[in-house]
Amino acid sequence: MQHDLILKGARVIDPSQNHDGICDVAFADGRVSGFGRDLPAGPGTQVREMEGAIVTPGLIDLHTHVYWGGTSLGIDADEFCRTSGVTTSVDTGSAGPGNFAGFRSHVIERSQARILAYLHVSFAGIFGFSKTIMVGESEDPRLMAPREAVEVAEANRDVIVGIKVRVGRHASGDQGTAPLDIALQVAEETGLPLMAHIDEPPPSYEAVLAMLRPGDVLTHAFRPFPNSPVTAQGVVKPALREARARGVLFDIGHGKGSFAFRTARAMLAGGFLPDTISSDVHQLCIEGPAFDQVTTMSKMLCLGMSLTDVIAASTVNAAVALKRMEYGTLKVGALGDATVLAVRDGAFDYVDTRGETMTGAQRITAEGVVLKGRWWHPA
């Protein structure tokens, strides 16, 4: 087979294949076309020497906000993906059924990087989120649009991967779990998974977990007090283990206010790793404290997760959450996406959403991107 591109001699870490070793990865016609040692190059093959680099499946950021220009919190997906090694950005509820058509036409279809989306059950999505205005879209039951959400989800099955809802004092005021109940009805009607945001109570962390189904995602899972997943003594609450046992997935969703080193240390000490690592990057956290996906991955690496587990949480585990197994893998025939990483040693400063700083001994950096079978180097 004639390969278009070969990444040669890298350390390839692909948790979907339990592979960590030196090999080549080849691409043709937008797909992975070869995986192994000494893959042959044809006369038209671009060969890039990758000795000393780490190649992984294309990184998936399961929680982003990339409805640039359509919402106040949206960032430019292509710029973000180029510089952070992300090949698939999953927008989580920026748009609802009332404005999803604009998101699709003006952003998703024009982006080079892949964009998938969780559709918000609120009619206009997250519409009031800025430095000066903060209006919880789940506060007013009149904004819940279950019928319209079902219609839009069914008409956009190629890019809509789930239903999003935000609950908590900031997002839903005194509504408690009522918006979650409506969103779950939409998810049941469409057969799609749900992603639930949680912030400060009400409702409680445990109340939200009790309602989630196998395959649903709780984002901001490593959040600080109040609504922390650990007790004051640093013990993981039993409700989390019960929910994981029945198939609920736990996502980092770093963002502006939803990740704490103290919580993460306790969770990892209790053997409770996140299923997925995501940045929740948006206009209010792209310059800190979240920054990007590789910074969020670096924090988890420095807190004690293994490099393989960090990569799995940003590739194959995210693909499982999306129910799209051709993502997050370098198996032959899969989507032709790959990320080139480096792990730097030194003393690196990190900060969480509560202002705690940590000096880590390692930092993951994005060195290059293969997107749809083509080299797409960071800007």
Give 324's DSSP letter.
Answer: -
Tokens of 233: 């003594």
Q: How far apart are CA 165 and CA 148, in angstroms?
A: 15
Q: How far apart are CA 245 and CA 116, in angstroms?
A: 27
Tokens of 323: 């129910």
Radius of gyration for the alpha carbons in the chain, expressed in angstroms and rounded: 20
Check if the beta carbon of residue 30 is closer than 8 Å to that of residue 5.
Answer: no
Q: 343's torsion region: left (phi>0), alpha (psi -120 to 50) or beta?
A: beta
Q: What is the tally of helices (H) and strands (E) in the chain?
A: 11, 17
Q: How many CB atoms lie within 10 A of CB 60?
A: 31
3-class state of residue 346 by DSSP: strand
Tokens of 182: 């409506």
Q: Find the helix or strand (DSSP H, E) in which 293 lies.
A: helix 293-303
Residue 81 main-chain phi, psi, to 5 deg: -65, -40
- In Å, how far from its chain's centre is CA 29? 26
Known binding residues for Zn(2+) are: 63, 65, 164, 197, 220, 280
Check if the beta carbon of residue 258 is closer than 8 Å to that of residue 354.
Answer: no
Q: Amino acid letter at 171?
A: A
Q: Find the helix or strand (DSSP H, E) in which 14 lies.
A: strand 5-14
Known binding residues are: 63, 65, 164, 197, 220, 280
